[in-house]
Amino acid sequence: MTLGALPYILALVLMLIGLYVVVAKKNIIKIILGVCILEYAVNLFLLLLGYRHGGAAPIRTAEQADTSAFAAGAVDPIPQALILTSIVIGLGCLALMVSLAVRLHEKFGTFDMTRIRELKG
Amino acid sequence: MDPFMLLLLALLAFMIIGSLIAAETEDLLSSVVCVGAIGAGLAIIDLFLGAPDLAITQVVVEILCVAILIRVVLNRKDETHRTHKDTFAVGSVLLFLGVLLVLGGWAMTTLHPFGEPLLAGDQPGVAQQYLTNGLQDTGAANYVMAVLLDYRAYDTLGEATVIFVSIIGAYVILRQRGKLRHDTGNESDS
């Protein structure tokens, strides 16, 4: 199966775009957005790793009484639990980064990192 | 190619195009909206990959993120795009990202292929055990919540701590009262 790694590679491309924004852009808000894109890409990659073809959500209903049949057809629940943690932590980090950017804009009147570096004090 | 795979690849391409627009557009507000679109695409992918809990959380967090960012970007003037671009720096960054893409892409081909996770292999590991014993062990019908709140409850405690600390940090940075007291303190010193 030649397409086996294609979704992983697309997630990698998304991650590299986020990394490019973080490294190459001069605007603080753009850098925060780049961190957001990086987070999405990593979450997506972990989720793709846990999927199986035709897999059902790992939620049991009353009709699925056979445990072994359910366990053979559900997707991996562990990456999902960890991504759930990571999404919410991402929101907290975003709030912290945004508050720092707001303070910088208050002090220097710009989001441009090169100009912030020039203005001392 | 089956339609599921085609849809997944289309959504991934949508996310990549959205992130490229977010990276290169000059207007910050458009950039923020593009990141919101990427998050919405990720929520749809979550739904298709059998993760409804993730889709719900992603949508809620995405709306909060976009609301915070729009609140920050609106009414704040910014002329960053008028500064001249450093072509050598951007070129070298793109070169090294290209090298990373080639090496990383090669590494991805050595992983187990998409749709056949470790869970379904010879050594299923702990995930298969959770799926088999989860209902008896925890009494939860939702196995994601069983892992989150029972098997790995200490992780969740750590997560709550991190969120609490980051919210306190944002509050300390943004508060006005402490800054005013600091200013008056300086005046009384001098």
pLDDT of residue B187: 47
H helix or E strand, kind and range, residue A54? none
B28 touches A25 (CB < 8 A): no
pLDDT of residue B82: 65
A93 alpha-carbon distance from chain centroid: 12
Give the model's confidence band at B74: pLDDT under 50 very low, under 70 low, under 90 confident, else very high.
confident
3-state secondary structure of A74: strand
pLDDT of residue B84: 65
B51 touches A57 (CB < 8 A): yes
Dump pLDDT digits (tens) for B92-132: 999 999 999 999 999 988 888 888 887 777 777 788 888 88
Dump pLDDT digits (tens) for A18-35: 999 999 888 899 999 999
Q: Is the pLDDT of residue B145 over 60?
A: yes
Q: What is the mean pLDDT of chain B?
A: 86
Q: Give the CA-trace dihedral at A20, B113, B14, B63, to 10 degrees.
A: -80
Q: Tabulate helix, strand, coil % of chain B (nearest 5).
A: 80, 0, 20
Q: Is the pLDDT of residue B60 over 90?
A: yes
Q: Is the pLDDT of residue B186 over 60?
A: no
Angle at alpha carbon of residue B110, lines to B106 and B111, rounded to 5°: 120
Region B68-80 average pLDDT: 83
Give the model's confidence band at B175: pLDDT under 50 very low, under 70 low, under 90 confident, else very high.
confident
Domain ranges of chain A: 27-52+74-121
Chain B neighbors of A75, CB-CB under 8 A? 49-51, 117, 119
pLDDT of residue B137: 84
Residues of chain A under the 50 pLDDT cut: 1
Region B12-30 average pLDDT: 93
Question: What does each C-alpha distance from A9 to A13, A51, A99, B92 come to in angstroms?
Answer: 6, 15, 34, 22
Say whether A47 and B9 touch across the interface (CB within 8 A).
no
Chain B neighbors of A25, CB-CB under 8 A? 23
Determine the residue among A46, A85, A118 to mutate to test chain B binding: the one whose Cβ has the most chain B Cβ atoms within 10 Å. A85
Q: Tell me how close the Cα of B186 comes to any Cα of chain A, in angstroms.
A: 16
